[in-house]
Amino acid sequence: MNAPDPRLSINQATLKYADLATALRVTADAGVQAIGLWREPVHEVGLATAAKLLTDSGLRFTTHCRGGFFTLPEGPGRRAAIDDNRVAIEEAATLAAAGAEGSTAILVLVAGGLPEGSRDLIGVRERVRDAIGELAPDAAAAGVTLAIEPLHPMYASDRAVVSTLGQALDIAADFDPSVVGATVDTFHIWWDPDVLHQIARAGREGRIATYQVCDWKTPLPADVLLGRHYPGDGVIDFASLTGAVLDAGYRGDIEVEIFNEQIWADAPQHVVQRTVETFGSAISPLLGAPVDSAS
């Protein structure tokens, strides 16, 4: 097996049933250099312990997953969601400081769906903009970039009312690019007839906070959340998407984030190994020679 691509980052969701210590260990043991973490396993050990484990792992920290879920109307529920996002911003800053050199302080935002009983998609989408407006000063103060993630339109009602990269960029446009950007995840946007144009726009506007790859394949599983696959195992044209992301100037780490019951049932060491292999065959050849700013 070749050495893992230096730009590969394992998103912890890919190792759902591993605790934080295990996820860090199997990732580092495989020679992978970076990891994106999820809040729940961080909370299990506490932020201070998580930060220490991360430092000890020697891994770069790439994203914190995830904030958002702020589509409720004004009231205690919305206040609780905003406050929780403020905590997540602080976590992202702490973890980025604890990670190895080259770590990035990015909080991925999944907007949330229509509240129970609501059909007001347009109004709910405006609430997302308002929530980000509330959080932007906190993110700026903490040096954290909020990365709005458009989710596939099949999740528009129950998970994320932000459905396209263009829509995410329209929301981000009100804010400084260092504070509000977008998450570009192939699974969610590959189908979009406007996607290459929007990736180029995201680059021009300085908004590509993180690039995540996994594959799409049908038939979808009974739970459509769990239909993600290793890069190359499905139908996504990574060449055009990755080429557009590179052309847009993105030079950061690239996460693999997979939700898939079969993959989750596998041993985490083996999942990391398969991720290294599939990234190496499906993504690395598209990346060209590493960019060395000193050369």
Question: Which residues are near a second copy by CB under 8 A?
Answer: 113-114, 118-122, 125, 152-154, 156-158, 163-164, 166-167, 170, 190-194, 216-220, 222-224, 234-237, 240
State in angstroms the smallest separation of the CB of 217 from a second copy. Answer: 8
Query: Smallest gap, in angstroms, from Cβ of residue 125 to a second copy?
Result: 7
Shortest spacing between CB 149 and a second copy, in angstroms: 15
Distance between CA atoms of 242 and 23, rounded to whole angstroms?
A: 26
Closest of 174, 103, 172, 171 to residue 143, by C-alpha = 103
Which one, 118 or 269, has the nearer CB to a second copy?
118
Say what the alpha-carbon torsion angle 90, 92, 97, 103 is, to the nearest 10 degrees: -160
Least distance in Å: CB of 52 to a second copy?
Answer: 40
Beta strands of 178-266 (E only): which ranges? 180-185, 208-213, 215-216, 228-229, 254-256
214 within 8 A of 230, measured Cβ to Cβ: yes
205 neighbors 171 (Cβ within 8 angstroms) = no
Shortest separation between residue 86's beta carbon and a second copy, angstroms: 27
Between 74 and 223, CB nearer to a second copy: 223
C-alpha R_g of the chain: 18
Closer CB to a second copy, 7 or 125, in the complex: 125
| Min separation Cβ 167 and a second copy, Å | 4
Looking at beta carbons only, is 86 or 217 nearer to a second copy?
217
The two three-digit tokens of residue 31, written as one number = 């020679």
User: What letters, b where the CB count within 10 A reaches 16 and e where it falls short, cover 188-213?
Assistant: bbbebeebbebbeebbeeebbbbbbb
Residue placing its CB nearer to a second copy in the complex, 80 or 224: 224
Decide if 147 contacts 108 (C-beta within 8 A): yes
**Least distance CB 61 / a second copy (angstroms):** 32
| H-helix or E-strand spanning residue 286 | helix 284-287
| Nearer to a second copy (CB atom), residue 5 or residue 233 | 233
Nearest residue (CB) to a second copy, 156 versus 271: 156
Spatial distance between the Cα atoms of 254 and 64, rounded to a whole number of angstroms: 14
CA 201 to chain centre: 19
